[in-house]
Structure 1
Amino acid sequence: MNQRKDLLNPTLYKIFQSFQLDKNYLSGEGSYLVDEKGISYLDFIAQFGAIPFGYNPDFIWDKLEEIRSKALPSLVQPSLPGEALKLANALAAVSPGKLAYCTFCQSGTEAVEAAIKLARSTTGREIVLSTFNSFHGKSLGSLSATGKVSYQSPFRAPAPGFIYIPYDDIAALQAVLDEQSDRIAAFIVEPVQGEGGIIVPRPGYLKAAEQLCRQYGVLFIVDEIQTGLGRSGALFACEHEKVEPDIMLLAKALGGGIFPLGVCLSSEGVWNDDFGFLHSSTFANNNVSCAVGLAVLDKLLEDDRRIIKEVAAKGEYLLGKLQELAAKYPEVIKEVRGKGLMLALEFQDLDDCGSYDMSFMVDQGAFTTILAGFLLNVFKIRLAPYLNNSMTLRLEPSLNIGREEMDYVLAALDKLCQILKYRDYALLYGYLLGDYSPPARITDYRAVSRPVKASPLSPEEKISHKFAFIIHYPAPEDVIANNPSFNTFERPDLYHFLEWQSSFREAGVCCHMPALRSHTGAVVEGWLIGVPFGAREMMNLPREETLGVIKKAVELGRELGAEIVGLGALTSVVSRGGRALTGQGVAITSGNSFTTLMAMEALLAGARKMRIDFTIARGAVLGATGSIGRACALLLSQDITNIVLLGNPRHPRSSRNRLNSLTLEILVLAYQRRSQGIITGLSEWLDGLINSYRKKDELRSLELEKALSQADGSSLELIKGVCREMAMEFPLEISMDLDASLPQCDMIVAASNSPEFIVYPRHLQPGAVVCDVARPADVAPEVRERDDVLVLEGGLVSYPEPVAFGPNLGYRDGVNLGCLSETILLALEGDCRDFSIGSRLSLDTIEYLRRLGEKHGFTLAGLMTGNREIGDKEIEEIYRKSLSFKQANNL
């Protein structure tokens, strides 16, 4: 029978599954776990300290056998449970100060709840004081004491009566006690902040806090749920400073990794009858779990606390080795912290790490999760992040961990740090694609890993406006362009990677551009925001899902302070040219207008260099029903006469209807240009047609001009009828057949929304010029193997200064996409309105952006092919080879 695996927690299951952390462990012994495939893993987190002696320690099972043989009753309330009394006495004997009374429970969060109730009932005051970045549990009271807003807000926490101060800040504690100690019941604090990432306070902090609380009559609660019972190298962490709390909390290790068990220890002076009568639990004072707890305590105390002394020595060794690692890799490791066997390895922020994907992982709080997945699946080591610190790995093994195991983990961490230093990030992702082998060789990619290059500003220069631009990977080639180490992956691997990444369904910052300056001196700041979809995912997943993530990206841009957000690649298509994204409190541009302008400038420049005669040239627009294709067709008609408009063969009827409308638009534009005295391209042909026809039938000629001036739908049929009468060929063709139409064309604009390649070598005649403005590309890579055609990348723009958005979407410094450039231009101008929205780009808008480009110093970036600039000499060679081919084949 197949079992669903998501019934315990579907939210976490998705994460576990995504990062291959979803192991099913069938057995455990000591520090090792074995999964259902028989693979053994070294456990180095010990269930966050709750597995103090490893899995299934013999002495606990011996105790359980003893309990069973005696038929010890587990739950016997109301009565005096003997084992619970024994454990209470044993804890009172070894606990610091006057702690004596034990309120047993099932977990740490219950212990915190008990402490809050006890403190309030004893003092008659409401406020519980705790620290920022603390962690005290997740039930409502303990969650309210937990100083982390992200845990609280979904649950309408904190409840009334909780305030927070910075950790390890005696002055802050003094100030709040001076101001309102008469309202404060207790101060609860961790001796070492655990889930905050192992934050060890300065020596003397805990003792000073105790003394201040005594001075002001505030109860002092020490949360030893994670630090207690040997973890810090002392039985209780507060012993390091001889602290005597009013209340001390224990859990995790107390149950020996077998039973859930917690306790709230309090002094006689704190106990009160209201708490005694009104606080209870069905499962408190469980004889069986308390007998196990007593065995745990006895084990820790035996041989003059030998295990605890060993923990202190092991902790010093492990901390020292981690510090050596930090000294070896300062660009990778930010800090090493710890006490005893609770240690933290914090990584640098990686905000400019040469990889959009690693930056995305950091922004998503998933950086250490992918590290944990890598270590688990490749080195078979079980590590985990801290809840409050997503850049920090937890090292918290069982107390009886061996030196050999510690050295193995240290060696694996050394490899991990080398990978991060050399930026060979593909090795971290390899296990997600099925490669579980330890890295035999780590390649240094730092030389090809590009940093962010911003405009250098003087102190008096200020940011005038802010923008954001939404990106995604249109094709596998783009993954490599923005992650150099990914060149080791084959194309199917890259598609697999894009499929994996799409499971995130979140938007995240991939790059921050702190300053980009115009020729005018205006300066803007911006962010590239990634949505985790390749072209296949963008076009094949339900639109509401992809659009929902794009909307999150727009919202993120607004939260960052952007006044205008631009759309890259297929985000414009999915959002209907941005129409679905307007009205969110920030301006939207599809970027299609400037993209179109730059594409056409590139096409015409390339055609001139290839000596194409515009008067007889035949052009084609692939994807002419789209917003960019439509605008390209209109612009192309200003320079050439013969144009074929290519639609989607999968939707022939709707494509033909839309292309008929576009044909009329092109004719109306030609007539308007003729009326303005601009006689080039189609307007020149139309002028000749009208003048010739006027001589034959002046009345019908006037009727035709009137229809064109009014954009009357009948004018299309009128012109076609005139062409038939005059025995002239109508210059605008509609086609759904690439194989038949493209080989007849000299100049081609490729602007489809296809997620796959559609232009192949067979489609191009020698000497043809193709401007591929589509993202993902329409032109297949094998076309570039032909040395007799010129393939250009459309929409590439040269900036006023050699800035680079880190990997820069694969382009050289100072060059980037037209859609991004439109967003930046509008921000530089401070014109933060919606632009280029929908499927009908305005030629007036395109002309406006042309002027903005000239004003701010944004120009065509030469001619680009294969992500590189192509020079006149190379183009001349292509022309000569095309000429030779034509001559040899009598073309």
Structure 2
Amino acid sequence: MTVAAFVNDLRKRGVELWAEGDRLRFSAPAGVVDDALRDELRRRKAPLLDWLRRDVHADHRRSQDVTIRAALDTQPDVNEERVVLAGNERLLPRSIEDLPTHPHPYARLVAPYRHYLLSSLRLDKRFVRGEGCYLFDEHGRRYLDMVAQYGALPFGSNPPEIWDALIAARDQRRPAFVNPGLMDAAGELAQRLVRIAPGDMRHVTFANSGAEAVEVALKLARSATRRTGILGTANAFHGLTLGAMSVTGRDVFQRHFGAPVPGFDRVPYGDLDALRATLAARPGGYAAFVVEPIQGEGGIVVPPPGYLRLAADACREAGVLFIADEVQTGLGRTGAMFACEHEAVTPDILVLAKALGGGLMPIGAVVYSRRAYNMHFDMWHSSTFAGNSLACCAGLAALNLLEADDRALVRRVADNGAFLLRELERLRETYPRLVQAVRGRGYMIGLELALNERSLGSSLLVHMAEQRLLLYLIVAYLLNVEHVRVAPAYTGAPVLRIEPPLIADRAAGEVLIRALDNVLALLEAGSTAALVSHLAIGLCAEAPAGTAEPEPIDEQSHPAMGSTSAGTQPGDLAPANESEARAIDVGGVEALAADGAGAPADVELDSGAARFAFLVHLLSPRDYAEFDPSLAGLSERLLTELHARISRFVDPFPIGRIAIRSPAGGCAWGDLILVPHTAEELMRMPATAALSEVVRAIEVAQQRGADIVGLGGFTSVVSQGGVSLAGGLRARITNGNSYTVATALEAIDLACRRRGANPVSATVAIVGAGGNIGRAITLLMPARIGRMILVGNPSIPQRSAARLLEVGVEAAAAALAGRSNGHPPPAGTLAAHLADLADRSAGDRAALQRMLSADDRFAISTDIDGMLPRADVVVASTNAVDEFIFEQHLKHGAIVCDVSRPFNVCRRVRRTRPDVLLIDGGTVQVAGRADLRAVRARRHGHVPACMAETILLSFERAFDLPGLSGALDTGSISRIQEFGIKHGFQVVLDGEDWGFAPDS
């Protein structure tokens, strides 16, 4: 078998191969890679590595031409129609057509959007077997189920006693649906429920689910009282049918569903005074008050002692029926048969479901008193499937188990629940900053976490917590690493819900406590890597035999899970001596973000100091490690996968603060705000989605008090240089391009002086002259040089050439205007020549275009290979997201100013072409006292020019200069350059100061 055929065969079996240096790596589904295949991989290692490298290089060569063409497709015209900001779009897919396809029919046909979200966090397990308290996935892994479908699995999965009852019903050939008629199983179950229910219950109506049972209770109460008002509680959850949803106390469940319908009100949960006041304010208006004895979905909230009893009394005094929703708490869950029993409360209407089906059949029941009974309801309420024989046989078997041995199982729940609560309190004492509260009864327990900066430090975890993502990551870690299944409170509260099957023993509780102890230890250590690395495809932190996991072919052993990189293998860890530092793209330099909170303390600022913010985005997922050191040990591949999974959920967030006092008296401080996407991602997004990310970042800046916001990197590109942001924002916007242009020109002048080169005799090539920065450089450069080449996009040669020709016409007109205004360009320069051409054209634009097209000092071309090697100076300023200017494109001794971020010029040039002076354009040394730790330049005081512009404008409070957004204004460029001189800012030539090292 050839190497290619071998690799293709492996891919069909789910095995992925890749080369990392001289090592061969693979990931595979569990059980696929056996000893024989490992030996085969070792034997074929050399040809496989060679094939993989050639395959990658071939892909690179195929894509290089496309990359170059895309890179030279310059920035969008700032005069194009503005993007509408209405709706403030999310990055998440907005229609089913945008979702990735999935082979499983449930994900594809039933809940595609929900699956998309769950799969991102690896919460989409496919469980193929359930036994008692354990679930098993398709790979045979076992998971302790401490959710029990929120109480619907009281006896775990597939309880034999419930199956026996169902099989017996089949063997007896019981009719399933015979309504109307005398239904034996339904009658027997009703009799049992009335007997065990609290108080003097007389009647039962069956339903098919908890939500439907709530609907029945509401209908019953309204018919009994002839009133329509229903009173519920805030933070409650009663189901997702229309009536149940209307009494649910969370807007998130009601939005866009026409709920609540008229007649529904709510009061704070646990607040007796509010309940009494509301009842008194509307005498005769309410039919019922609906309440959960313990709020489940709301975060396992236990009311104050005595609340339920006194609430029931208040309702009776007001002639209002008291409905206890025990769908989740009923039938043993709280260590009593019914949660109402803890306070000796007798409801008028008791709603049951979940546990009643024994874990196999859906069934609900409404048990009610003579006070609630009425003949109208009796006559006109019915349901085809409710009270069917199979469901009622399951219910009878469930009650048998609950009542056996004088309710021994319920007593065990009370005892084991008390044990769990004690152990969780111990964890609260061990991790006082992380565990906010422990609450609940029996096997209905909530662990509330304090997920904030105080408890988590300054890692990426803080930002995930602020955006309500961290709780889901904790649940995902427990599931995928500890193999313990718990649930989050889906209402936004930072609560882990613990609701085991009633049959769970103390040993299961001990497993849960150990798992929680482990995850809390990771949180306290701020170990983001250990918490999230399992999200990478094929990576599992526990590294059991047969687990799908990236492995080094040559390694004979695997490291144990550490505190910073759980489950990572030697090949997934970046070398400790890796020389290449990575960076966050701020548009004028690679600036590494540091942590920072509050105003930097070591720079004294005036109380009226201007506030600014500067937007940055990722150059690569490696940047996460710069502001969360725990991620530094993960490989680029794993970080890329992690980023792909979490970035769709994360909004922009602050990553550090800087402060500066100018020697000229100005002072300012501000925040770096990270847009958590790379340049490639921003460019791939729909225009409105990318713009929405920028808007959200600006909103964060405004919330933190920014007077002006600078757009770094591609945040400027996707907002059309800030033009698309006009209106609706309090803070002023600058794209930073003015000072970037000024400093790039100054850097080129300085480089020419250092080289002893005469710019007037130099040929300058500008790559990306159709963009905002490139255009401004094209207008200002001719007064310094002798010849110019504008290099355009080879994929659209006619359009590109026409656009660049227009820039040339604009440059000639500007040169002539300068001469006419008494500012003639220096003799011998290209500007003087262009002014002559414009003068000779006598205002005939077409004639000037013909002259420029035939001119030997001004050239337009799309041949990057042929034209760049002719240039003494190369300026690169494009939207490209990849390098596309290489050694062969550069003349011997060339000066190259790369203003683009990400860079257009290959960084390897510094090592392979020592004759070339490569400048990272737009680097500035600030003056005065400054706290710039958040800008991790290798030399203190260095900032990108686009950021420096934001600082200078803050110093001067010059927020209304023309050209700060959109097309640049040459007058403003000069003004901002003057601000820089005033405040002591200086251009820097040494590019190696910035967050990278030459390739090794």
Q: Structure 1 residue aligned with 2:518, among 398, 412, 415? A: 415
Q: Structure 2 residue aligned with 1:536, among 680, 693, 696? A: 680
What does residue 651 of structure 1 align with? Answer: 796
Confirm or deny that 1:844 pairs with 2:844.
Answer: no
Q: Structure 2 residue aligned with 1:794, among 913, 922, 935? A: 922
Letter in 2 for 1:491: E
Range with bigger deviation, 704-713 or 241-250: 704-713
What does residue 726 of structure 1 align with? Answer: none
Specify whether residues 412 and 660 from structure 1 end up closer, same or farther in structure 2 by C-alpha distance, changes over 3 A only: same
What does residue 311 of structure 2 align with? Answer: 209
**Shift of residue 835, structure 1, vs aligned partner:** 5.5
Letter in 2 for 1:656: A
**Shift of residue 233, structure 1, vs aligned partner:** 1.9
* Cα distance in 1 for residues equivalent to 2:937 and 2:645: 22
Q: Is the Cα–Cα contact under 8 Å of residues 598 and 797 in structure 1 kept in the other structure?
A: no
**Shift of residue 158, structure 1, vs aligned partner:** 1.0
SS in 2 for 1:61: helix
Letter in 1 for 2:653: C
1:660-701 residue CA offsets vs partner (Å, 9 max, x unmatched): 222333333344445555577x676257769xxxxxxxxxx9
Aligned-pair RMSD on alpha carbons?
Answer: 4.3
Matches within 5 A, 1:51-90: 51-90=153-192
* Cα distance in 1 for residues equivalent to 2:243 and 2:686: 41
Q: Is the Cα–Cα contact under 8 Å of residues 963 and 969 in structure 2 kept in the other structure?
A: no
**Shift of residue 834, structure 1, vs aligned partner:** 9.4
What does residue 882 of structure 1 align with? Answer: none
What does residue 295 of structure 2 align with? Answer: 193
In structure 1, runs of 5+ residues without a counterpart are 691-700, 724-728, 879-891
**Shift of residue 264, structure 1, vs aligned partner:** 1.7
Q: Structure 2 residue aligned with 1:91, among 183, 190, 193? A: 193
Q: Percent identity?
A: 36
What does residue 886 of structure 1 align with? Answer: none
Q: Is the Cα–Cα contact under 8 Å of residues 710 and 735 in structure 2 kept in the other structure?
A: yes
* Cα distance in 2 for residues equivalent to 1:799 and 1:228: 70
1:7-59 residue CA offsets vs partner (Å, 9 max, x unmatched): 11122121122223222222110121222233322222111111111100111
Confirm or deny that 1:509 pairs with 2:652.
Answer: yes
Q: Structure 1 residue aligned with 2:775, among 627, 630, 647? A: 630
What does residue 273 of structure 2 align with? Answer: 171
**Shift of residue 441, structure 1, vs aligned partner:** 0.7
Matches within 5 A, 1:19-58: 19-58=121-160
What does residue 599 of structure 2 align with? Answer: 454
**Shift of residue 60, structure 1, vs aligned partner:** 0.9
Aligned length: 845
1:175-213 residue CA offsets vs partner (Å, 9 max, x unmatched): 323322432222212122111111222322222322322
SS in 2 for 1:370: helix
1:753-804 residue CA offsets vs partner (Å, 9 max, x unmatched): 1121123455556876544432323243434556774542636685988577
Letter in 2 for 1:714: A
**Shift of residue 250, structure 1, vs aligned partner:** 1.4
What does residue 383 of structure 1 align with? Answer: 486
Matches within 5 A, 1:235-254: 235-254=337-356
Q: Structure 2 residue aligned with 1:714, among 817, 842, 847? A: 847
What does residue 697 of structure 1 align with? Answer: none
Range with bigger deviation, 84-93 or 517-526: 517-526
Letter in 1 for 2:523: L
Letter in 2 for 1:370: L
**Shift of residue 393, structure 1, vs aligned partner:** 2.5
Q: Is the Cα–Cα contact under 8 Å of residues 862 and 869 in structure 1 kept in the other structure?
A: no
Specify whether residues 464 and 292 from structure 1 end up closer, same or farther in structure 2 by C-alpha distance, changes over 3 A only: farther
TM-score, normalised to structure 2, is 0.74
Specify whether residues 69 and 205 from structure 1 end up closer, same or farther in structure 2 by C-alpha distance, changes over 3 A only: same
* Cα distance in 2 for residues equivalent to 1:462 and 1:843: 30
Specify whether residues 129 and 421 from structure 1 end up closer, same or farther in structure 2 by C-alpha distance, changes over 3 A only: same
SS in 2 for 1:667: helix
* Cα distance in 2 for residues equivalent to 1:463 and 1:111: 61
Q: Structure 2 residue aligned with 1:440, among 536, 552, 561? A: 561
* Cα distance in 2 for residues equivalent to 1:831 and 1:801: 23
Letter in 1 for 2:791: L
1:91-119 residue CA offsets vs partner (Å, 9 max, x unmatched): 22222222332221111111211222222
What does residue 570 of structure 1 align with? Answer: 714
* Cα distance in 2 for residues equivalent to 1:807 and 1:235: 58
* Cα distance in 2 for residues equivalent to 1:545 and 1:448: 25
Specify whether residues 810 and 61 from structure 1 end up closer, same or farther in structure 2 by C-alpha distance, changes over 3 A only: farther
1:806-844 residue CA offsets vs partner (Å, 9 max, x unmatched): 976989998765556667877894958996555x42223
Confirm or deny that 1:593 pairs with 2:734.
Answer: no
Q: Is the Cα–Cα contact under 8 Å of residues 593 and 934 in structure 2 kept in the other structure?
A: no
What does residue 427 of structure 1 align with? Answer: 530
Specify whether residues 835 and 715 from structure 1 end up closer, same or farther in structure 2 by C-alpha distance, changes over 3 A only: closer
Specify whether residues 541 and 809 from structure 1 end up closer, same or farther in structure 2 by C-alpha distance, changes over 3 A only: farther
**Shift of residue 271, structure 1, vs aligned partner:** 1.8
**Shift of residue 313, structure 1, vs aligned partner:** 2.4
**Shift of residue 443, structure 1, vs aligned partner:** 2.8
Q: Is the Cα–Cα contact under 8 Å of residues 203 and 367 in structure 2 kept in the other structure?
A: yes
**Shift of residue 591, structure 1, vs aligned partner:** 0.8
Confirm or deny that 1:118 pairs with 2:118.
Answer: no
What does residue 292 of structure 1 align with? Answer: 394
Q: Is the Cα–Cα contact under 8 Å of residues 658 and 930 in structure 2 kept in the other structure?
A: no
1:431-451 residue CA offsets vs partner (Å, 9 max, x unmatched): 332211336111399x99723
Q: Is the Cα–Cα contact under 8 Å of residues 674 and 684 in structure 1 kept in the other structure?
A: no
SS in 2 for 1:220: strand
* Cα distance in 1 for residues equivalent to 2:934 and 2:448: 25
* Cα distance in 1 for residues equivalent to 2:259 and 2:989: 58
Letter in 2 for 1:415: N
SS in 2 for 1:102: strand
Q: Structure 2 residue aligned with 1:758, among 865, 884, 909? A: 884
Specify whether residues 135 and 815 from structure 1 end up closer, same or farther in structure 2 by C-alpha distance, changes over 3 A only: farther
TM-score, normalised to structure 1, is 0.82
Q: Is the Cα–Cα contact under 8 Å of residues 453 and 802 in structure 1 kept in the other structure?
A: no
What does residue 695 of structure 1 align with? Answer: none
* Cα distance in 2 for residues equivalent to 1:770 and 1:792: 8
**Shift of residue 139, structure 1, vs aligned partner:** 0.8
* Cα distance in 2 for residues equivalent to 1:496 and 1:595: 36
What does residue 806 of structure 2 align with? Answer: 661
SS in 2 for 1:33: strand
**Shift of residue 258, structure 1, vs aligned partner:** 0.5
1:533-562 residue CA offsets vs partner (Å, 9 max, x unmatched): 433333345656655766777789899998
Q: Is the Cα–Cα contact under 8 Å of residues 463 and 653 in structure 2 kept in the other structure?
A: yes
Specify whether residues 10 and 639 from structure 1 end up closer, same or farther in structure 2 by C-alpha distance, changes over 3 A only: same
Higher relative contact order (Cα pairs below 8 Å, separated by 6+ residues): 2
Matches within 5 A, 1:766-777: 770-777=896-903
Specify whether residues 390 and 658 from structure 1 end up closer, same or farther in structure 2 by C-alpha distance, changes over 3 A only: farther
**Shift of residue 90, structure 1, vs aligned partner:** 1.9
* Cα distance in 2 for residues equivalent to 1:278 and 1:117: 11
Range with bigger deviation, 25-34 or 751-760: 751-760
Q: Structure 2 residue aligned with 1:343, among 433, 445, 452? A: 445
**Shift of residue 255, structure 1, vs aligned partner:** 0.9
**Shift of residue 482, structure 1, vs aligned partner:** 4.4
* Cα distance in 2 for residues equivalent to 1:276 and 1:827: 74
Letter in 2 for 1:442: S
Q: Is the Cα–Cα contact under 8 Å of residues 463 and 515 in structure 1 kept in the other structure?
A: no
1:827-881 residue CA offsets vs partner (Å, 9 max, x unmatched): 894958996555x4222343455567789x79568667467489xxx9xxx9xxx
* Cα distance in 2 for residues equivalent to 1:239 and 1:34: 36
**Shift of residue 266, structure 1, vs aligned partner:** 1.6
